[in-house]
Amino acid sequence: MSNDPGRQVLAEGAFLRLVRAGGWEYVERTRLSGIVVILAVTDDRRLILTEQFRKPVGKRVIELPAGLAGDVEGAEGEALATAAHRELQEEAGYEAAEMVFLTEGPPSAGLSTEMITFFRARGLKPCGAGGGDGTEDILVHGVRLDEVAAWLELRRKEGLLIDPKVYAGLYFVEREE
C-alpha cells in the first residue's frame, strides 16, 4: 500500500482494492505477504503442473503450483518459502526437502502491485493426492520434461490456457542443465 497523497481507493472488496494514483488505476490485494510459484521436477524428470478452472478468464488453465502467502488470519507474516512448501503439498501432493529462491518480480506491472517469487523445489516426495485446500478443484499433472512442449501445445489446442509462468519455469529447468 502506497503513502501517495494523491492515492484514492475507488472500491474495496474482501480480497482486492481498486486504487487510482497519478492518473493510473490498479489493483492491490488486501491480505497477503507475497505470492509464490513453485518449479517442481521429480527425480524421474517430470514437471509438476496444475490445472484448474479460473473464473476471471472462464477457462481451465495449466499452471505451476502457486499460491498466496500471509493470506490466512493468524499467519499474516508467513515466510515465502514456508508458503511454497505448503502450496506444493496442498495443490500437488508433494513435499520438498528444500525450496531454493530463483527470482521475483511483478506478473502484471500495469495492473497490479502483486509480486511473485519463484522457488525451485528440491528433494520431492509424494505426500498425498494434492488437488487444493478444499475450496479448489485442482488436477495434478506430472509431464516428462522431454514431452512437456508437445503436451502443452496439445492442451492449448484443446482450449485450455497456458499460464506464461510455466514457460518461465522451463527456462530455469533448461538453465540448470
Q: How far apart, in Å, are the Cα atoms of 131 and each of 45, 149, 166?
A: 21, 23, 18
Domains of the chain are 1-30 (no CATH), 33-176 (3.90.79.10)
SS3 177: coil
Is the Cα torsion angle 30, 137, 53, 48 positive or negative in sign?
positive
Q: E-assigned strands of 55-89?
A: 59-63, 66-69
Q: How far apart, in Å, are the Cα atoms of 64 and each of 88, 120, 127, 140?
A: 9, 11, 18, 10
Q: E-assigned strands of the chain?
A: 8-12, 16-21, 24-29, 34-40, 46-54, 59-63, 66-69, 94-105, 116-126, 139-144, 161-162
Plot region of 134 (φ>0 → left; ψ -120 to 50 → alpha; else → beta): left
Please, what is the Cα angle at 101 between 120 and 32, to 5 degrees?
105
Residue with cell 490456457: 161
What does the pLDDT profile of the chain (177 residues) look like in tens digits? 556 778 999 999 999 999 999 999 999 998 888 999 999 999 999 999 999 999 999 999 999 999 999 887 888 888 999 999 999 999 999 999 999 999 999 999 999 999 999 999 999 999 988 887 777 789 999 999 999 999 999 999 999 999 999 999 999 999 987
Inter-residue contact 126 to 93 (CB < 8 Å) = yes
What's the pTM value of the predicted model, to 2 decimals?
0.92
- Assigned C-alpha cell, 172: 530455469
- Assigned C-alpha cell, 80: 515465502
